[in-house]
Chains A and B, each alone.
Chain A
Amino acid sequence: MIQYVIRRLLMAIPVLFAVVLATFVLVHALPGGPFDAVGEKAMPEQIRLVMERRYGLDKPLYEQFLLYVGNLLKGDLGPMMHLRSQTVNEIVSETFPVSFQLGMMCVTLGFVIGIPAGIIAALKRNTPIDYGATFVAIAGVSVPSLVLGPVLILIFGVALDWFPIAFWGAEPPFILGIFPKPTAEFWHHAVLPVLTLGSGTSALIARLTRASLLEVLGEDYIRTARAKGLRERVVIAVHALKNSLIPVVTLLGPMLAGYLTGSLVTEQIFALNGMGRRLISSVAQREYFLLTGLTLIYGVMLILGNIMVDVLYAWVDPRIRFE
């Protein structure tokens, strides 16, 4: 298993290299540089040249790339070009925890609500409870965060005034650099964004759990378990549930990728200082290094997530063996 994980990590290196290369080339191919203007006015030619030399932008592209990769290997994501008091590393250490906390809470919400809802719907099959749960699940999958966010703001933020409608409740410094201080303010602020991004996931998990539990309940070994007189509770919890979770785990991979799109929108709607929001603003400002760095981090997260999913997969389905 450890060997497998190490091999997957090694295989990720060329992928990440290609991502960096592609991003780097695309970003630098953009017409117009970061120092074309100061505010509304055009930057004087002389100062522009000085600034470009300062960041090495006057060198040939391949030299810039080698320099960048060399810095990357040292763990340096590069300087910021407009907010010159900060480095990309600082920006990332500020914004990554926010996106990470949001994503983790959404995954948790997805499983805490999705799996029980799916089990109940499957056990009460073809009853009003099942129909209700299925309908809510399909609706939950279908309402995009783009729509759900504003609607939740309207209902719970504006009309009822229960929850704050913008900003994240935790600020740096974070505990261990990544976890929030669990203050009341934090939970209060987290409710709407997490619901916006996470309800789709929990609906998807509920649907899949229901379908696969129904399939598993038709298997022979379930009949055997019942025939030897086990209580229904034990049959479901011990024999059926773990097997029915296999397809749910496969879903985790695409789900991680889905959070990317979703978090971009959610962070924008709720004005959260996360990576997605920074990515968008860095596009407009031509923050070369920030743009490349954030894309790289997204790539790393995606790869790590997929490896984790595969490991989890082997745990729920022991028939899968890694060679």
Chain B
Amino acid sequence: MAENNQNEKENEIELTELFEEEPRKGRSPMGDAWREFRANKVGVAGAIFILLVVVMALLAPIITPYHFATQNNRNSRAKPLTGYTITTDYAEDKCHWYGTPLEWGCSLFLVGSDGLGRDLWSRVVYGTRVSLAMAMVASVVSLTIGTVIGTISGFAGGRVDNLIMRLVDFLYATPFLPIVILMQVYFQALARRGVSSGLGATLISWNQAMGGMLFIFIAIGALGWLGMARLARGQVLSYKQKEFVEAARALGASNSRIMFRHLLPNIVAPLVVAETLAIPGYIFLEAALSFIGLGVNPPTPSWGSMINEGYLGIRSNSHLVLVPGVLLALLTLAFNFMGDGLRDALDPRVHGS
């Protein structure tokens, strides 16, 4: 009898143990998306390449032998992998790697040198900073402005919506590029003339610190959010009538709380995907502006201006174009692959097909 009792107790313990399962790993939507994204090899490769470029940009002073503006006049237009002899004082003064195990790099043009004898590798690596800064600032600015304006427009509806959308239509019909060019020319001329006081002077000194990119950023910020605003508005319109919004309102949530706590998390995924796919366009825009001489100020290296310096001599010195060009193509390719992967992972409609 006693034995039996004990048995039962043991059974009970086993039963409770059975029911008290160890906490299972939940399958959150974000976790699902992450798993889906990781399965997409090409997308992951793109993301890894972008990370690599980010690391290059951050570590630029460490992984390059020279500053991007350092000229070596006796060795201009050197082909890739040419070594050269340099006087010790030159190397000691200018080379970051002098006196380190990497010292051999001071007398080798890894990917050649440009027309002014500047080390192409150093310039290409510093050039990542310009492209990435453009990608980051342009996408963050246009995503933020576009989302806020689009959300407000879609949520408010009525007259406000009408007004904002007419404004967006209006701006949409303006030729973006000539206006950006004109703004860039205007600001560059202002900077050349030199404004000594007030807001203008502050802006110009910031612009100088950024190598002449501030005004491209401003121009993009002023005009780049239009598509994003339309997309965000459409998303808000499709979620606005859902029950969870009504529930939030019944609980007494304020309009801004509904917009930014309840609606925004639902609409943000397609916006981020669209923005990722827009990034190659921004990178290309900066490169194109620099190519036609209206981008960054020399000697700041941008891949676009490097292509511009090289393309007239393309027959004899193709590496001057190919090195920045291939990197530019690879970076935009990587953003496209990553964007595609993100879309497949985040867009619920794609699942199952």
Residues of A at the B interface (CB closer than 8 Å) are: 12, 14-15, 18-19, 22-23, 26-27, 29-32, 138-139, 141-144, 146-147, 149-151, 153-154, 158, 214, 218, 254, 257-258, 260-261, 264-265, 268-269, 279-280, 283, 291, 294-295, 298-299, 302-303, 306
What number of residue pairs across chains A and B have CB atoms under 8 A from each other?
134
Q: Could you list 22 A-B pairs, sorted by A, with CB under 8 Å?
A: A18-B170, A26-B183, A29-B186, A30-B185, A32-B189, A138-B340, A142-B329, A146-B284, A146-B325, A150-B318, A154-B318, A158-B315, A214-B353, A260-B175, A265-B288, A269-B311, A280-B181, A280-B293, A283-B182, A283-B185, A291-B182, A295-B179
B328 within 8 A of A: yes
A264: B residues at CB distance < 8 A: 177, 288, 292
Checking B174, B177, B310, B314 against A261 with a beta-carbon cut-off of 8 angstroms, the contacting residue is B177
B186: A residues at CB distance < 8 A: 26, 29-30
- Asked if residues A31 and B190 are in contact (CB atoms below 8 Å), the reply is yes
B333 within 8 A of A: yes
B353: A residues at CB distance < 8 A: 214, 218
Residues of B at the A interface (CB closer than 8 Å) are: 170, 172-179, 181-183, 185-186, 189-190, 192-193, 227, 280-281, 284-285, 287-288, 291-294, 304, 307, 310-311, 314-315, 318, 321-322, 325-326, 328-329, 332-333, 335-337, 340, 353
CA distance A154 to B227 in the complex (A): 36
> In the complex, what residue of chain A is closest to B177 when comparing beta carbons?
A260
Kindly provide the distance from the CB of A97 to the nearest chain B CB, expressed in whole angstroms.
19
Kindly provide the distance from the CB of B81 to the nearest chain A CB, expressed in whole angstroms.
19
- Asked if residues B173 and A144 are in contact (CB atoms below 8 Å), the reply is no
Residue in A19, A258, A261, A302 with the greatest tally of chain B CB atoms within 10 Å: A261
- Asked if residues A261 and B288 are in contact (CB atoms below 8 Å), the reply is yes
> In the complex, what residue of chain B is closest to A148 when comparing beta carbons?
B329
> In the complex, what residue of chain A is closest to B194 when comparing beta carbons?
A31
Chain A contact residues: over half helix, strand or loop, or mixed?
helix
- Asked if residues A268 and B325 are in contact (CB atoms below 8 Å), the reply is no
Kindly provide the distance from the CB of A150 to the nearest chain B CB, expressed in whole angstroms.
5
> In the complex, what residue of chain A is closest to B173 when comparing beta carbons?
A15
- Asked if residues A139 and B333 are in contact (CB atoms below 8 Å), the reply is yes
Q: A14-B170, A19-B174 are in contact. List 13 more A-B contacts (CB 8 A).
A: A26-B179, A26-B186, A30-B186, A32-B189, A143-B332, A146-B284, A146-B287, A147-B307, A147-B325, A158-B315, A260-B175, A298-B175, A302-B173
Kindly provide the distance from the CB of B331 to the nearest chain A CB, expressed in whole angstroms.
9
CA distance A280 to B290 in the complex (A): 12
Kindly provide the distance from the CB of B193 to the nearest chain A CB, expressed in whole angstroms.
5
